[in-house]
Structure 1
């Protein structure tokens, strides 16, 4: 028997389907020589400070910096209350005598490697471990992948990069958040001052743009424009040039306008150039998020990632958490098959032709995962949200195999018959071949010029001076912010003219970023959640709290984009086996200590002042574990002694009750605390029938957690 550990239940189902395994058990599939089980993402999490030392359950400045002698893991507490049960199931399955080897089938990235490896390390498995590395979960790929497994030890650099990221974020996050809260937040209240390796530089990008806008001083400038009429009564506009077409002073332009009004000019030069415009590259996650959040209202980068993940797990697209905008050269045959499937029946089907361009297939531009493309599995139906993301990915893929767009660019130079310094210039485009733009019915906004010839005379029908004003930079949107996070603040133009320079810059910036494609959306989401940024439509700005944090915290390294980029680059080097994780973690440990000392020295500065009075919570009864009072919180009914480690809680979105179409109420909780049980009416079975039952919420020693049990009232004999 071979045990396959997938990252999620949906992926386990895909593997089981590919292997024709129908034997679904409680928490796993079994059949045809395989046992397929799953995690729920990260089943394990790092110890809290209080797990290492109970005396440190409440924060005190003298406890920090806290550096664990070794990093230890515990089973994650989640609202579904299924992590412990699933972990124990995996442990039991791996200990079966008929199991000879283990296959890690988690996502092929830093975090995916970590999910399975930490489970195996916690269990202490001694059986042979292999790695299944896939970019999609189609039947063909699963079967092919199982025939070319890798020894899991070959992925140790990827694991080390994941551990380094996780441990470094714990060291910086736990220590700096604790000390910042103790030093700079006064008064009782909810929440801490969250400080993190990725949060801080992202906040700084937004802060800097806010400052640019706040201190921007608009400046006046002037342009001279001629409204021209041809002999055939066509009209066009031309700008006056003398080195440039913008001027600080108005007087000279006013004189020219008066002189040239109603005069004639001659077309002394007409340049017509035919240019080729290539399709934009395939999507990586950052570009997909930017494209959708800027095009559609109500979308966030986090939402794009979640929907893309759904499409991936349904086998409709390839792995979405990628930084690559090209495909691995080994995927040519598969890509041709996908194209053949997708183009059938399209109105421009005959224009779609497979080719092996370096713009599409280029190993030098691919790291662990290729760009996002559709698979050959075509969705039969999907939600409106899935449709938006899928069609964006599909259309960008189809564009690569359409003809190049061709346009004609015309440049006209006009010289008035009145002798002046300078000349007038008009510029326009004519689309000759829509090419890839036909896929999304792309509408050009280019200026069109009338038919006009060299040496032709035109009338300067109206010549006017236009007053303009320089504009402040625009606030960041998720699209612009994600792009700057991807390149660590290095602005990269996407125009065709700058493509060669961009490719050079891309090679330098490989791995040099703020976070990863998989984490950037969550970073923006968290900044909003903790109150450091706010959204006004699509625009993102700092809150007062976020601004104070940037201005006050004496940890300038974490706000420095170059420094943060070097940290992310170091993780990339660990992943490539060019840097040892111990070197990186030694540096992070030393840095943490230095930052904590700096913050302690500046104690007394107040960034946030909390209200000194707390709203008194209604007590619902005594906690069955520690006898402290149980109170209602935002997300559940929990023990008021939770800061000291009591874990009793009944979540408001409890999965067991949700399956019965019921939510816990204060009345139910009071009855459970007082009588140990509660009679609940209106429960709904899987078939939709209503029934009444007695529910108990009891501690299970074997599982190490509370579980619901159900019983029915005995009917009295008459």
Structure 2
């Protein structure tokens, strides 16, 4: 008997349906599993069936939180069955014993790999069964995709490093979160704070980012700065604007970002260039093209949905889970990849047809799409366990689509539009760069004029004005509200448009004020997590992080943000995300290494190295234990006075001992959700 073990019931049912279709015979549903006509069985986990044992499982004395017990480091790690899913573990225990062959069908990511592997290890399967276990990678619950995955099974041995990486992460998060939380909760009590001070290797640096931003805003002092625009005109009364570029001699009057702070200097420039001839010294005119943006991974989708629909990261994740599991309209959503396997290109006609039928506003663009085009998104070398989030091949009626909730419609349309862009030509535009010398000063401008919209056609009426929001002074990018440059020539014999044909009609003094950074919102906080390298203080780590996943993972980021709200460390003010008094007090009480992204960024780098067979388990856990010992000793010597006078949420820290593990991971949003840091 061959036993298929899926990560969750919905995936199990999809596998059973796929196998039933291949066998062309009906299956029978049983309690906790599905029996196929040929005697094979499909069963499932319900998320993690096992969890790290509590500290008191290692020593009864650890039920009481005491500083002298810390750090608690298990010599032999123990897992225990979750009480709410114990019956399903019993089902699997029986089936695993009966099975001649096991197929691992966890989700195609690090946690999905560990989730089933840890069950097989806990049930003590034989070495022979373990060696012959196969791996089924399913990222799309539609029948054609499931059938393809079932036909292309691989050896589970190939994915051992991925499982070891997830196991290392799980144990490291338990060690760090449980020990640091106990240490600072106990020390906080000495400062008069009665509440649990949870510390985690991802949640705390994230809180640190928000606290630092809030402090920057609170302490910000605005400064005036000045720009000069030159208005050039020729004999035909054609005109355009250029922006002054301060020279080296102006540096004493500029801030670190090059802004001129001295008004008389800018006024002097305006006076000097008034009614002076302008010599065009540089003219670059190039036709360029921009390929379509890549399809979404989860983080980029969350960021875009926050901007477009004011959705929180958790709302986007929950909506994607529904579109994937319940409606089967998109592929696996917890993806960190923005690329697609080359073989997926052959599915384009079916997917495009499904989009056109499902989503009326995109039907016109589906007719214009060119399935033969192959964008840079189709790249096998960029795809590992899972690929970008794209629509599935499933078609539903207009009536069925209308029954989706508003978030589901919006997110599906967003994903579908991004996918359709892959089958439109590149956006083509003409870029012109101009430099001129006026009275010894350098002035520049840049303009981009659309030639062919290509994939930007999918933005509809917004296509021409797209990206104008962030244009810089002196940079005109084409479209609505942009500057159309007149004919310009470097030929001095061209009396109307040549390099000597222009006069500076006047100089315009533009007075501005520096502005504080903006408070984080859902989109910008997610962007900070994915682009964490720019917040890392260590230059070597920052360099290596530019190609990694950032702070947290695709599957955990939304939950981590929500966790900080639940623990009263963050609060919302409209769309803004701000720290609370307790959140700021906690950050001020912790050592620098606990509140900056450097440590967790290094962890992610090392965990990735484990999955790539470049580092082993001991190489990661050994140094971590030494570092943890130093952090706990430092905590024992410090009373967090920043928390004095603040009220906790009324939790008894002793009662929290049974939940110590959750200090480093977000509790499951749904019963099958992955652990979070």
Relative to the length of structure 1, the TM-score reads 0.75
Deviations 1:320-378 (A, max 9, x none): 22222222334333446534654685346345243344x22223333322222222223
Instruction: Provide the residue aligned with 2:313 in structure 1.
Output: 301
Between 1 and 2, higher relative CO (CA 8 Å, sep ≥ 6) is seen in 2
Q: Map 1:417-428 to 2 at 5 A.
A: 420-422=439-441, 425-428=444-447
Matched residue, 2:32: 27
Instruction: Give the aligned partner of residue 157 of structure 1.
Output: 161
Checking the alignment, whether the CA contact within 8 Å between 2:337 and 2:382 is kept in structure 1 is: yes
SS across alignment from 2:292: coil
Contact (CA 8 Å) 1:270, 1:412: kept in 2 or not? yes
In 2, Cα distance between the equivalents of 1:240 and 1:159? 57
Greater percentage in strand: 1
Q: Secondary structure at the match of 1:489?
A: helix
Question: Which shows bigger deviation, 470-479 or 398-407?
Answer: 470-479
Offset of residue 645 of structure 1: 7.8
* TM-score after normalising by structure 2: 0.79
Does the CA contact (< 8 Å) of 1:44 and 1:73 recur in 2?
Answer: yes
Change in 2 beyond 3 A, CA 1:205/1:18: same
* Deviating more after overlay: 452-461 vs 531-540: 452-461
Residue 414 to residue 61, structure 1, CA distance change in 2 (3 Å): closer
**Residue in 1 aligned with 2:74?**
68
User: Is 2:367 aligned against 1:349?
Assistant: yes
- 2:412 matches 1:390: yes
Assess if the C-alpha contact under 8 Å between 1:187 and 1:611 holds in 2.
Answer: no
Q: How does 1:245-644 map to 2 (within 5 A)?
A: 247-255=260-268, 257=270, 271-297=284-310, 299-313=311-325, 314-335=327-348, 337-339=350-352, 342=355, 345-347=363-365, 349-357=367-375, 359-380=376-397, 381=401, 382-411=404-433, 420-422=439-441, 425-441=444-460, 442-444=463-465, 445=468, 446=477, 447-449=482-484, 451-454=486-489, 455-456=495-496, 463-490=507-534, 509-511=546-548, 513-554=550-591, 556-603=592-639, 605=641, 607=643
Deviation at 1:200, TM superposition (A): 2.2
Cα shift at 1:255: 4.7
Give me the whole-angstrom Cα distance separating, in 2, the residues matched to 1:462 and 1:643: 71
8 Å contact 1:290–1:480 — kept in the other structure? yes
Alignment of 1:84-163 (within 5 A): 84-95=86-97, 97=98, 99-126=99-126, 127=129, 129-163=133-167
Distance 1:239 1:573, change over 3 A: closer
Q: Distance in 2 between matches of 1:28 and 1:374?
A: 29
Rounded Cα–Cα distance in structure 2 between residues aligned with 1:351 and 1:334: 14
Corresponding residue of 1:180: 184
Q: Output the CA distance in 2 between the equivalents of 1:426 and 1:155.
A: 53
Cα distance, 1:148–1:533 mapped onto 2, change above 3 Å:
same
Change (3 A) 1:181 1:613: closer
Question: What SS does structure 2 have at the residue aligned with 1:464?
Answer: strand
Work out the CA distance in 1 between the residues paired with 2:464 and 2:551: 35
**Other-structure match for 2:51:** 45
Structure 1 residue 424, shift from structure 2 partner? 5.2
Matched residues in 1 for 2:581 and 2:245: separation?
A: 45
In the TM superposition, what is the alpha-carbon distance from 1:522 to its structure 2 partner? Answer: 1.5
Higher-Rg member (1/2): 1
What is the total number of aligned residue pairs between the two structures?
Answer: 599
Note closer, same or farther for the CA distance 1:238–1:57 as it changes in structure 2 (3 Å cut): same
Structure 1 residues 264, 595: closer, same or farther in 2, change over 3 A? closer
Q: Secondary structure at the match of 1:367?
A: coil
Instruction: Check the 8 A contact 1:430/1:448 in 2, yes or no.
Output: no
Whole-angstrom CA distance in 2 between matches of 1:129 and 1:571: 24
Per-residue CA deviation, residues 528-587 of structure 1 (Å, 9 max, x unaligned), is 221222333333333232223222223x33334333222111111111222221232222
**What's the CA shift for 1:181?**
0.1
* Whole-Å separation in 1 of the counterparts to 2:138 and 2:236: 64
Which is helix-richer, 1 or 2?
2
Give distance in 2, aligned partners of 1:76 and 1:31.
Answer: 28
Q: Which residue of 2 aligns with 1:686?
A: none
Q: Check whether the contact 1:402–1:435 (CA below 8 A) recurs between aligned residues.
A: yes
Instruction: Specify whether residues 65 and 101 from structure 1 end up closer, same or farther in structure 2 by C-alpha distance, changes over 3 A only.
Output: same
C-alpha separation in 2, matches of 1:528 and 1:302: 12
1:539, 1:129 → 2: CA distance?
49
* Structure 1 gaps, min length 5: 493-504, 616-632, 634-639, 647-718
Secondary structure of the residue aligned to 1:535 is: strand
Structure 2 unaligned runs (5+)? 21-25, 249-257, 358-362, 469-476, 490-494, 537-541, 660-677
Asked if the contact 1:188/1:612 (under 8 Å) is kept, the reply is: no
Aligned CA RMSD, in angstroms, stands at 3.5
- TM-superposed CA distance for 1:307, in Å, is 1.5
The residue that corresponds to 1:651 in the other structure is none
Distance 1:108 1:258, change over 3 A: closer
Kindly state the Cα deviation for residue 14 of structure 1 after the two structures are TM-superposed.
1.4
Contact 1:285/1:517, CA 8 A, preserved across alignment: yes
Aligned pairs (5 A) from 1:76-87: 76-77=82-83, 81=84, 83-87=85-89
